[in-house]
Amino acid sequence: MAEIIIRNLRKEFGDFVAVESSSFTVGDGEFFMLLGPSGCGKTTTLRMIAGLELPTSGEILIDGDEVGQRPASQRDIAFVFQMFALYPHMNVRKNIRYPLVSQGMPADEVRTRVDEVARILGIEAILDRPVGGLSGGDRQRVALGRAIVRNPKCFLMDEPLGALDAEFREHMASELRSLHDRMGATTVYVTHDQREAMQMGDRIVVMNHGIIEQFGAPQEIYDYPATLFVADFIGSPPMNTLDLDGTLPTGSAHVTLGDQSFAIRPLTEPATGALALGVRPEHVSFDDQSAYRGTVTAIEYLGTTQIITLDSPNGTMKARQPSGIPIREGESVGLAFRSELVTIFDRDTGTAIGSERPAGGDNG
């Protein structure tokens, strides 16, 4: 187990800055996600932690030791790129024990460790089978076994479930998470899939263009996005961001849309210029008493819920409602928002305006 501290980590490839100046701490035993769109710098960050890429500047501390300029072999880290990467000519047992045998570990100890790992992963019965005929799930368990057997300080995983179809991916994600809960090893996991990050992570770093946009627990990031990028990237459908012009002094606890006033969390700083009111689709409700109205333009049935698209005076928005609610395209509905989960953004800077929180914390 290990704590990983990243301080002002930067990586340049020639003139191109892949990672600007990242700072975050991965707690001992934490399942930590690096999340962002393709090209945002998450793999480069992970490769620097692994020692496969040297930082241009900044520090990487693993359990207090500065390892930034040390080779991968001196970091006691297991890197899982792609769980299907097995040695095809070896059976399951030989695949798993390979890293120990190549270290010259005594045979008795190797056998004990492999048996222990097979038990943890529930693959005792297939230890002597060739890897060629295994199912995708078993192949992944074997590849994980090969990483676990070394008993490394931490695991680094780069989109390990990326090649799987959606249903199996979800299953393996929860299996990986429960494996983590049993082993408690510090894990840093790269994904571009916000659902996977929310499902598995204790905490998430959201990256964009080499910059950390936000860093926090899944619900914190979901409820209080620090930037418009996070508001849009996290959530499906993403957060609605309605145009809002005007000046809101510090302490403002209401905004006006059309003829209707809406309560918001009191602002802890002033907001002026081009603003946006951010509200998640499930925090939009229909209220006959509201003077603020939208017209239904589309209805998407999703089984237990339906996504209703509306034209409002401040832009297109979506509302998530239970499927039972009768509603038709073309209908005009009064709109209300769950005030404690509304965020005001500055469109020019793309950041959230600071506001009070029911449970404390920092917003933007």
Q: Which residues bind ligand ATP (CB under 6 A)?
A: 13, 16, 18, 36, 38-44, 192
Closest CB 309 distance from ligand ATP, rounded Å: 30
Side-by-side strand order, sheet with 351-352: 240-248, 271-279, 343-346, 351-352
Using the minimum distance from each CB to ligand ATP, give the nearer residue, 139 or 192: 192
Q: Is 82 exposed, middle or buried (0-12, 13-18, 19+ CB in 10 A)?
A: middle
Tokens linked to 20 = 């600007």
How far CA 346 is from CA of 20, 211, 242, in Å, comes to: 23, 18, 12
Distance CA 319, CA 312 (A): 12
Residue whose CB is nearest to ligand ATP in the complex, by number: 43
Closest CB 217 distance from ligand ATP, rounded Å: 21
Q: Is 69 exposed, middle or buried (0-12, 13-18, 19+ CB in 10 A)?
A: exposed
Residue 233: how many CB atoms within 10 A of its CB?
A: 23
Using the minimum distance from each CB to ligand ATP, give the nearer residue, 44 or 140: 44
Using the minimum distance from each CB to ligand ATP, give the nearer residue, 13 or 87: 13
Closest CB 4 distance from ligand ATP, rounded Å: 17
Closest CB 12 distance from ligand ATP, rounded Å: 9
Using the minimum distance from each CB to ligand ATP, give the nearer residue, 36 or 218: 36
Closest CB 192 distance from ligand ATP, rounded Å: 5
Chain centroid offset of residue 66 CA = 26
The residue written with tokens 């890897």 in the block is 131
Using the minimum distance from each CB to ligand ATP, give the nearer residue, 27 or 39: 39
Phi, psi of 124 (to 5 degrees): -55, -40
Closest CB 284 distance from ligand ATP, rounded Å: 32
3-state secondary structure at position 234 = coil
Going by C-beta distance under 8 Å and a sequence separation of 6 or more, which residues neighbour residue 185?
1, 29, 148, 152, 153, 154, 155
Using the minimum distance from each CB to ligand ATP, give the nearer residue, 30 or 158: 158
Using the minimum distance from each CB to ligand ATP, give the nearer residue, 198 or 206: 206
Closest CB 221 distance from ligand ATP, rounded Å: 17
Amino acid at 350: G
